[in-house]
Amino acid sequence: MTLSVVNVQGTIEVRDLESLPGADAAHDPIVVELLAADVMPKDRQTARGQVRIQLPPFFVAGSQAVAVDEHGSRYFVRASIDAGGGLRDGVYAERFVAESHWLVPLPESLDAVVAAAGGATMVDALYAVDDLAELRAGETVLVLGATSGVGAAAVDIALLRGCPVVAATRDPQAYIKLMGERDGVTVVANSEIPEGTRAATQRRGADVIVDTVGGELTALGLKATAPRARQVVLGYLAGFDSTIKVTDLIVTESRLIGMNAGTVPAQRQRQLVAAALELLAAGVHRPAPITIRPLSEGVDALLGEVPTGRTVLVGPAYNGS
């Protein structure tokens, strides 16, 4: 029997399954035990019926995790690149079958919970900043939704690249209390994004915008751009719709770039995961705060109140490292 968090025709349950999740879909199978799994926004959205794809009537939830094999080797596991593992069984299970080619070894010094909480967000931030925006040293980066997992990771990656950052958030004081005051980071309220960004850049504007929020903040970000800026939109926490003025793109010759991590070739995905894990091990970014919950509380983790920071489900095999 394998304790698992499953989606049964739109209802989230914890069940003991007789068969191992993922066995039917794995091409190069390897059985692993769950150490820690991040509760990602897309997993919550899938559980709450907020995704716009047709889901199977029964599947194990969970997109990405850290797991251990029978030899004690630890891996970052990307079970599916689709919403919430919806097109194949996910990783919210004590034991499951993974595909060997999606296993990326963890650095020895990296804690499994930190890897689970920060791995996926670092991957998305790296892809947005490096691959899509093609950030160059010295450029200013505006991060919309700087307290989100990807937003916080993007701030740290931009600083690592030698770039000043404007961090936009609903509550600047709460952000500073959580993240601390940092050299190279100017914090502005969402309502003051254009004015605050231009004040921080001697009126020039931001060269790169990492937009994790969507909605009307996307339009505000476009009003804060420097000439030939690149705005990468990768989230829609503020909604799907935005009133964008075409002239805001034309005047500055800016680019608005949509991000879909599911289109990234497999080899590049593995490269991004490996790079993210190395940066986490080096302390470049540490997701905070992290709420740890047992796998048996997966229903509440998906459907209950969303805490600040990241929520990680741990399996019986997790021993605190």
pLDDT digits (tens, 9 = 90+) for 82-132: 444 445 789 999 999 998 888 999 999 999 999 999 999 999 999 999 999
- The one-letter amino acid at 18: E
DSSP class per residue in 229-243: EEEEE---TT-S---
Helices within the chain (DSSP H only): 41-47, 112-126, 149-160, 172-179, 193-200, 216-222, 246-252, 266-281, 298-303
Residues 42-67, mean pLDDT to the nearest whole number:
87
What is the structure's pLDDT at 54? 77
pTM value surpassing 0.85? yes
Q: Is the pLDDT of residue 31 over 80?
A: yes
What is the structure's pLDDT at 288? 84
Lay out the sheet containing 206-211: strands in order across.
Answer: 185-189, 165-169, 141-144, 206-211, 225-233, 255-258
pLDDT digits (tens, 9 = 90+) for 214-230: 999 999 999 999 999 99
Is residue 17 within 8 A of residue 23, CB to CB? The reply is: no
Is residue 226 within 8 A of residue 204, CB to CB? The reply is: yes
Q: Which domains does the chain have, with CATH numbers?
A: 2-105+289-314 (3.90.180.10), 120-262 (3.90.180.10)
What is the structure's pLDDT at 82? 47
Comparing 178 with 94, which gets the higher pLDDT? 94
Average pLDDT, the chain: 92
What is the structure's pLDDT at 81? 42
Distance CA 303, CA 309 (A): 16
What is the structure's pLDDT at 263? 85
